[in-house]
Amino acid sequence: MEWCRRDGDEVLLGVPYGEGMLSLPLPIRGKLHLLLPEDGSRAEASGALMEAVEHPLDTPPLREVIGGRKEVAIIVDDDTRPPYARTLLPPLLNFLRENGVRKAKVIVALGLHRPLDEERKRAVFGDLPSWVEVCNHDPYSDLSTVGKVGGRRLLINRHFLSAPLKVVIGDVELHQIFGYGGGAKSLVPGLSDVETITWVHSLLTHPMARPGVLEGNPVQEFLEEVYAKVRVDFSVQVVLNMRGEVLCTNAGSLRRAFLRGVEVVDRLYKVKVEEPFDVLIVSVGGHPRDVDLYQAQKAINMTRAGLKEGGKLILFSRCGDGIGPEGFAKWLKKGLGKEGVERMVEERFEMGLHKLYLFAKGAKDIDVYLYSSIHPDLVRKAFLKPLEDPREVAELVEDGRIGFVPFGTVMLLERY
């Protein structure tokens, strides 16, 4: 993929947007800095999966873990992530079937995201055999208590807890609050109750609850207790490349497979910036990362460390599904000021309000512009400046040091 091409005093950018690309010509005479992760080659997903389940990091091979059990619950991500499960599930299910499993329940780790309808299930998983049932997690019902974790009562999806064999599939990537996605994040918030989900996200105001941080991150400290409390028999944790293809696969215990994935993510997706930029042109990364405004916010937090105070961050996110979850839409439409949002988060944390807080925090001391399908009035209520035509970007990049980030959600800009 050609991300940028120079033609005299003009540079043509290829900007991921929705399921396609925007061609963006810009009058940049000086150097344009292309900021990409060290993206490795695509792995042959089925072969890498079989190698991982036959030679896991710290457990017996999966065929031994099965141990004659006939039923399995498999946890997978929803469609806010690339549909890697469509590649991994068929060979994994075949392997389970060959080793005696006769019934599988695939549970979508939704947290508080909207449930998948049948069309969206097919998009994520394809056509699965008749002995496999796909169901959405419900954070309000079908829960069982696993006991106290972090001094709090933790409830987890009862279908998972009661399954004879428990398997978690996840992808390890950077996350703006949890430090990293993957691992126990599939359980909390993925399969947990609404009170726990809300409490965990309330930790976002802690200075160590930030992308790329494990040690000292209060969310990860809580998840360490989750690993010990919730039994998972086997896990497959992948790292994806920029195009959402499987790059590497690790298997074994949930915690160990996750930590091995973190090593890969740190090596590939943390990008050092020697000198901060005056302007950053950032794509959320295209579909499904830019499905709505709620998801688009992540790219601001992941890239703003590479920007000077007072700089310009120009964000591209199609937002084809609109604003996002109802709780966020409710708060966005109130039209609160930045100071009011920050005060309210401290006084009474609420899901949806937390995302507005992250927009306010991300737009502090910089100007964030957004080109999307969202109405300009709503863009302004998220503390962003709307762009109604991509050609408006040309007026914003006339001077200074300019960087281009095609995949702003999955990579982290860090200062030296």
Using pLDDT thresholds of 50, 70 and 90, give the confidence band for residue 44: confident
Q: Is the dihedral of CA 85, 91, 93, 96 positive or negative?
A: negative
In a domain, 324, yes or no: yes
The CATH number linked to 191 is 3.40.50.11440
- Measured at the CA of 204, the angle between CA 203 and CA 207, to 5 degrees, comes to 95
The 10s digit of each residue's pLDDT in 4-14 is 898 878 899 99
In sequence order, what are the residues at sequence separation of 6 or more whose Cβ sits closer than 8 angstroms to the Cβ of residue 32?
A: 4, 6, 11, 402, 403, 404
| Residue 8: domain span | 4-30+274-415
Highest-confidence segment of 28-42, 343-357, 373-387: 373-387
Is the CB of residue 291 less than 8 Å from the CB of residue 321?
yes
183 shares its domain with 263: yes
C-alpha 357: how far from its chain's center?
18
Q: How many CA atoms lie within 13 A of 401 on its CB side?
A: 12
> Judging by beta carbons within 10 Å of its beta carbon (0-12, 13-18, 19+), is residue 371 exposed, middle or buried?
buried
- Average pLDDT on 344-370 reads 93
The 10s digit of each residue's pLDDT in 276-292 is 999 999 999 999 899 99
Q: How many CA atoms lie within 13 A of 128 on its CB side?
A: 25
Q: Provide φ and ψ at 359, rounded to 5°.
A: -65, -45
Q: Is the dihedral of CA 335, 338, 339, 343 positive or negative?
A: positive
**Is a pLDDT exceeding 70 seen at residue 1?**
no
In a domain, 39, yes or no: no
Quote the pLDDT of residue 41.
63
254 shares its domain with 282: no
**Is a pLDDT exceeding 80 seen at residue 260?**
yes
Using pLDDT thresholds of 50, 70 and 90, give the confidence band for residue 125: confident
Comparing CA positions, the residue from 212, 364, 204, 358 lying closest to residue 296 is 358
Using pLDDT thresholds of 50, 70 and 90, give the confidence band for residue 43: low
Per-chain mean pLDDT for the chain: 94
- Average pLDDT on 194-223 reads 96
The 10s digit of each residue's pLDDT in 393-406 is 999 997 789 999 99
The CATH number linked to 370 is 3.90.226.30
Number of domains in the chain: 2
Cα separation, 312 vs 121, whole angstroms: 38
In a domain, 37, yes or no: no
165 shares its domain with 296: no
339 shares its domain with 260: no
49 shares its domain with 169: yes
